[in-house]
Chain A
């Protein structure tokens, strides 16, 4: 039952998105402009900053993620579909997981474009270990989106939600971003220090577990009026 609700919510979100591609295009364009701004600001005389790629990748993901979260729930608000979703006889945590997976899918799709772009512009060996990079990116994105989905869903009813979402989201997700940046930076070293990489990755997994558990636990009381 739980898995079915998750799948239905996810399929609904993906279907709406595929039809218009509004969030995908706008978020992606925003992320690319972000990377370009960093490139203009930091690449001097053809030399990219040392160890800058990891930070720029994660900052772009965080910025684009905030935009995507805001838009995804704005759409739900405009047509009052979130209320309908909440009235549906389905477990609230399942609805949350469905929304979370939708956001993660969107962000991962964006990252597929961002990674080669950053590798190109900042001459970073991001694609040298694709499996590790993919694992780190997905883990970090889940941690970021777990908090983001919960807050964006709650902020739907609040005033000035556009400003409040980043204000609330960044302080909470800074540890995830720190761990993601450190793990990616460890991956970019010529000879990877396995112990450091594993430590930051383990920390990312811990954040995911804690954030998803907390969000599942508090989604129900938080979404009840």
Chain B
């Protein structure tokens, strides 16, 4: 593990301990009330979900055309984080919607796109686990196609009735909402980087183990 890892873990733990206080002290939103506090985990995890998907796609692209196994390991690690942050987003979202919209789920563009993106990442992991030899390239291709889907679903937003809060909410946030949100977002980002590094480390160890086994056999 790199040198920065342990201090970063300590910092992340500290921030995780502080953020509940900030969230508890934030004011209530006028129309949604208490349930709006889900926002402080829902939005950061949704951002990390997208970030992980982008990391996975770019790493897959580089692996496919350069063949460097390091990129493959990064893509695999990122795909697992897509699943993790995706499930957090997809569970916290409906819990919020139940109160704010009155329904658990709505076939809204953003929700559909997130669900499809999450399903593609689950398919990616299934492929890595059960695909056997040669599945690394196939998985990279899958990640590319999964990335290509997302902008298209965004285009159809004009023709799709949407009740999801728009992106214009975030820049117009007053400081009392913004501070806990950005603090939480930075915490999630740090957590994302740490988890990604730990997961890549696992793949590195596995590669080392395989190399050792080969040297024993050979």
Whether A and B touch (Cβ < 8 Å) is answered with: yes
| Residues of chain A having any CB pair with chain B under 8 Å | 147, 150-151, 154-155, 157-160, 163-164, 167-168, 170-172, 174-175, 178-179, 196, 199-200, 203, 206-207, 210-211, 214, 218, 221-222, 225
Q: State which of A172, A178, A196 has its C-beta within 8 Å of the C-beta of B142.
A: A172
Q: State which of A154, A157, A171, A210 has its C-beta within 8 Å of the C-beta of B141.
A: A154
Residue contact B138 to A210, C-beta cutoff 8 Å: no
Query: Per-residue CB proximity of B139-163 to A under 8 Å, as 1/0?
Result: 0111011101100110110010000
Chain A residues near B127: list those with CB within 8 A.
158, 164, 167-168
Residue contact A159 to B144, C-beta cutoff 8 Å: no
Residue contact A203 to B132, C-beta cutoff 8 Å: no
Q: How many A-B residue pairs have CB under 8 A?
A: 88
Q: State the majority secondary structure of interface residues on B.
A: helix
Residue contact A171 to B123, C-beta cutoff 8 Å: yes
Whole-angstrom distance between the Cβ of B146 and the nearest chain A Cβ: 7
Q: In the complex, A155→B135 CA distance in Å?
A: 8
Q: B120 interface residue, CB < 8 Å from A?
A: yes
Residue contact A172 to B130, C-beta cutoff 8 Å: no
Q: In the complex, A178→B134 CA distance in Å?
A: 31
Q: State which of B126, B135, B137 has its C-beta within 8 Å of the C-beta of A221.
A: B137
Q: State the majority secondary structure of interface residues on A.
A: helix
Q: B13 interface residue, CB < 8 Å from A?
A: no
Residue contact B116 to A150, C-beta cutoff 8 Å: no
Q: State which of A167, A172, A196, A218 has its C-beta within 8 Å of the C-beta of B126.
A: A167
Residue contact B131 to A160, C-beta cutoff 8 Å: yes
Q: B119 interface residue, CB < 8 Å from A?
A: yes
Which A residue sits closest to B153, measured CB to CB? A175
> Which 5 A-B residue pairs are closest in the complex by CB-CB distance?
A159-B132, A171-B119, A154-B138, A171-B120, A158-B131
Number of B interface residues at 8 Å Cβ cutoff, please give it: 31
Residue contact A158 to B145, C-beta cutoff 8 Å: no
Which A residue sits closest to B138, measured CB to CB? A154
Q: B2 interface residue, CB < 8 Å from A?
A: no
Residue contact B159 to A196, C-beta cutoff 8 Å: yes
Q: In the complex, A160→B152 CA distance in Å?
A: 31
Q: State which of A200, A203, A214, A225 has its C-beta within 8 Å of the C-beta of B144.
A: A214
Residue contact A172 to B120, C-beta cutoff 8 Å: yes
Residue contact A172 to B131, C-beta cutoff 8 Å: no
Residue contact B137 to A172, C-beta cutoff 8 Å: no
Whole-angstrom distance between the Cβ of B124 and the nearest chain A Cβ: 8
Which B residue sits closest to A206, measured CB to CB? B152
15 further A-B contacts with Cβ under 8 Å, apart from A150-B141, A158-B138, are A151-B141, A155-B131, A158-B131, A158-B134, A158-B135, A163-B130, A164-B127, A167-B126, A172-B120, A174-B119, A175-B153, A199-B159, A203-B156, A210-B152, A221-B137
Whole-angstrom distance between the Cβ of B173 and the nearest chain A Cβ: 32
Q: State which of B116, B142, B145, B152 has its C-beta within 8 Å of the C-beta of A203.
A: B152
Q: State which of B131, B134, B145 has its C-beta within 8 Å of the C-beta of A147.
A: B145
Q: In the complex, A157→B133 CA distance in Å?
A: 8
Q: B213 interface residue, CB < 8 Å from A?
A: no
